[in-house]
């Protein structure tokens, strides 16, 4: 990973040179290291719980409504998905149909 000498932002490889994604500063690529480029993810399509996660036995919420079946009880777990100063995310699993969803506080 290479950072901009001008503003400190992360640089990306563009047309054979490294270009700052913030201030457009360009520089030669550092060393002969291989750089790996990944596609950006918005995060909206990601669910942080795995299909096999065992929700049974977790705390039960009775103040929610399942969008699939209308049942009003679900197991839930809490995970910190954002920065430490942001509220945690609650992940639910309907006790009736097994539908999964998340709620941001």
pLDDT confidence bin for 22, thresholds 50/70/90: confident
Does pLDDT of 42 surpass 70? no
Model pLDDT for residues 58-104, shown as the tens digit of each residue: 778 888 999 999 999 998 888 888 788 888 888 888 989 989 888 88
As a whole-number percent, the residues of the chain with pLDDT over 70 amount to 74
Phi-psi region of 81 (alpha: psi -120 to 50; beta: other; left: phi over 0): alpha
pLDDT at res. 68: 93
- pTM, two decimal places: 0.47
Please state, in angstroms and as integers, the Cα–Cα distance from residue 38 to each residue in 12, 25, 69, 79, 99, following that order.
10, 21, 38, 25, 31
Q: Which residues are catalytic?
A: 85-86
pLDDT at residue 52 is higher than 70: no
């Amino acid at each position: 990973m290479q950072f901009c000498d001008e503003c400190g932002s992360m640089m990306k490889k563009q047309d054979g040179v490294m270009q700052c994604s913030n201030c457009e500063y360009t520089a030669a690529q550092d060393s002969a290291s291989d750089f790996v480029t990944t596609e950006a993810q918005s995060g909206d399509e990601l669910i942080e719980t795995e299909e096999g996660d065992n929700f049974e036995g977790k705390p039960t919420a009775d103040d929610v409504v399942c969008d699939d079946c209308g049942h009003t009880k679900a197991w839930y777990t809490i995970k910190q998905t954002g920065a430490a100063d942001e509220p945690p995310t609650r992940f639910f699993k309907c006790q009736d149909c097994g539908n999964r969803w998340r709620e941001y506080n």
